[in-house]
Amino acid sequence: MTAHMLRFYPGAPEEIALCGAYLAHRLHERGSAETPFVYASFVSSLDGRIALRDSATGESRLPAGLISDNDFRLFLELQAQADCLVTHGGYLRDLEAGRLDDVLQVGTRETTRALAQWRADNGLSPQPAVVIASASLDFPVPDSLARYGQRVFIATDAGAPADRVAHWRTAGYEVLIAGTGASVEGGALVRELGHRGLRSLYLLTGPRMLDTMLRDGQLSRLYLTTAHRLLGGESFHSMLSGPELRDIGRLRLCALHYDASAPDGTGQFFAHFEPRPA
Ligand SMILES: NC(=O)c1ccc[n+]([C@@H]2O[C@H](COP(=O)([O-])OP(=O)(O)OC[C@H]3O[C@@H](n4cnc5c(N)ncnc54)[C@H](OP(=O)(O)O)[C@@H]3O)[C@@H](O)[C@H]2O)c1
């Protein structure tokens, strides 16, 4: 059965097909080399949790109650529109340990082939480039990146260990020094990627990179799925981990959709926001 959702805003409420709803945003056409379009997505519970941390092992996980096929479909549509996926050292370590699935390629499964075709039809490269943001520079590179011929950049800061920078350069990777301190900076990273012709940048990262991009005024759009459930849990992650944001945290709603069917017999909102100009 084809999934539908109710669009609450903008306009009068209307039932629309879920498949294709985010492809219609044409994010790959919204940026330029001078000003790439930078977007992020999160799925959260009503009590603001995006992941729970196991107090015994310290490991974090996405709770099953936040996961749904409908949300994943929209995630894949966002991914399909990217010139470049931004990931980080922590994700690659989790991938190698088998704690997370590989989401660094588009349309490689039978069920998602149409998204690869969509990229071809819309003039995008077969696979997005991948940027690995890391301060430690201590991560494994998954074989899948070479297998699918993806451009790979490593982004770090001026405080990164020199021997690790040399290690990655010797291994043939382009290392971007995008920050003067102990962290990658949003403005420097986006500028470097824009110079390399990348115009739509999808942040597959977490709270720290969202904070980095927002604080530097680089975030163009935030997609947020809110699952209609409370999770609780004493140790958890929310969308942001840094100090108070003040005015830079002001957002404007662009659209709001209601999916009554998922996850897990509850419901969810699909919303997206853009930073509100000062
Ligand atoms: N529900 C959701 O939608 C959602 C979305 C995202 C994440 N999550 C989950 O939330 C939890 C926390 O997210 P996270 O692991 O992404 O944590 P995080 O604290 O945001 O990022 C961790 C890693 O990112 C790298 N990094 C991020 N920003 C950087 C910067 N500005 N400069 C240099 N390096 C930077 C660092 O790599 P190095 O250690 O290599 O230096 C760091 O270890 C995880 O369980 C994750 O799976 C959930």
pLDDT confidence of residue 65? 93
Encode 166-184: b = buried (16+ Cβ within 10 Å), e = exposed: eebeeeeeebbbbbeeebb
142 lines ligand 1 (CB under 6 A): no
Domain range summary for the chain, segments of one domain joined by +: 4-230+250-275
pLDDT confidence of residue 182? 86
90 lines ligand 1 (CB under 6 A): yes
In this structure, how many other beta carbons lie within 10 angstroms of the beta carbon of residue 226? Answer: 18
Helix, strand, coil abundance in the chain, percent, nearest 5: 30, 25, 45
Report the SS3 class of residue 94: helix
The candidate with the shortest Cα–Cα distance to 44, out of 273, 205, 206, 239, is: 239
The candidate with the shortest Cα–Cα distance to 258, out of 271, 247, 273, is: 271
Measure the CA–CA gap between 101 and 67, rounded to whole angstroms: 13
Atom of ligand 1 nearest to the CA of 183: 32
pLDDT confidence of residue 264? 86
- CATH architecture under which domain 4-230+250-275 falls: 3-Layer(aba) Sandwich (3.40)
Report the SS3 class of residue 30: coil
Spans in the chain with pLDDT lower than 70: 1
pLDDT confidence of residue 118? 98
Q: Going by CA atoms, what residue is nearest to atom 40 of ligand 1?
A: 89
Q: Are 254 and 221 in contact (CB under 8 A)?
A: yes
pLDDT confidence of residue 83? 98
pLDDT confidence of residue 106? 98
Measure the CA–CA gap between 77 and 107, rounded to whole angstroms: 10
pLDDT confidence of residue 1? 54
Segments of 22-105 assigned E as strands: 37-44, 51-53, 60-61, 84-88
Atom of ligand 1 nearest to the CA of 179: 32
What global pTM score does this model have?
0.97
